[in-house]
Structure 1
Amino acid sequence: MAVVPVRPLAERRVAADFLDAGAVSMADAIAYAPTRPSSRRAFERLKGADVLRTDGQGKWWLDEERWNGRRSDRRTRVVLTMLAVAAAGAFAALR
């Protein structure tokens, strides 16, 4: 049974909202109020990771460098996990 990766999808949707609005610098910051519960949680996670930055006046912008780094880190963890599972499976098959 496949599991849908809800957290990464929600974070991508929030990031896409900022990218679509062109809010990628403090000068282009936008007011943002997510409507879905998953988007609200993703918004909070991205703020906590300093991917979403504030201008100090209630407007937010996406730090693209941190966003790309977060996505890269996630991909690296997924690949390493897949390699570990494959290695464990190969070890079990050879026993």
Structure 2
Amino acid sequence: MAAVPVHPIAERQVARHFLDAGATSMADAIPYAPARPSRLRAFERLKGADVLRTDGKGRWWLDEERWSCRRSDRRTKAMFALLAVGVAAAVAALR
């Protein structure tokens, strides 16, 4: 049974909150207090990656360009992982 990818799901939920609120620029920044521990961790990860930026007054906004890059990087890593598993399976089948 495959594990559910909790980190990407929580990050998407946090990003969706900002996108739904229209908080995509410093002028539109909003306060954010996550209710769930998983979303708090996702919020901290996104802050650390500069996807969520602050206006310096306790309000936050989503940098859409960095969010798009983060999602693209994650997909690229997943594709390489799948490719590596496929190559390993092919090598094992040929032995």
TM class by smaller structure: over 0.9
- Quick one: which amino acid aligns to residue 23 of structure 1? A
Distance 1:72 1:93 in 2: 31
Secondary structure of the 1:32 match is: coil
| Structure 1 residue ranges without an equivalent (≥5) | none
1:11 is matched with 11
2:90 is matched with 90
Distance 2:82 2:31 in 1: 39
2:78 is matched with 78
Aligned counterparts, 1:1-95, within 5 A: 1-95=1-95
Aligned residues, how many? 95
Distance 2:46 2:64 in 1: 12
TM-superposed CA distance for 1:77, in Å, is 0.1
With normalisation by structure 2, the TM-score equals: 0.99
Distance 1:4 1:94 in 2: 31
Write out per-residue CA displacement over residues 60-84 of structure 1, whole angstroms, 9 at most, x where no aligned residue: 0000000000000000000000000
Distance 1:36 1:56 in 2: 24
- Quick one: which amino acid aligns to residue 17 of structure 1? H
Write out per-residue CA displacement over residues 11-64 of structure 1, whole angstroms, 9 at most, x where no aligned residue: 000000000000000000000000000000000000000000000000000000
Q: Following superposition, which runs of at least 4 residues in structure 1 exceed 6 angstroms of deviation?
A: none
- Quick one: which amino acid aligns to residue 52 of structure 1? L
| Structure 2 residue ranges without an equivalent (≥5) | none
Distance 1:61 1:3 in 2: 31
- Quick one: which amino acid aligns to residue 53 of structure 1? R
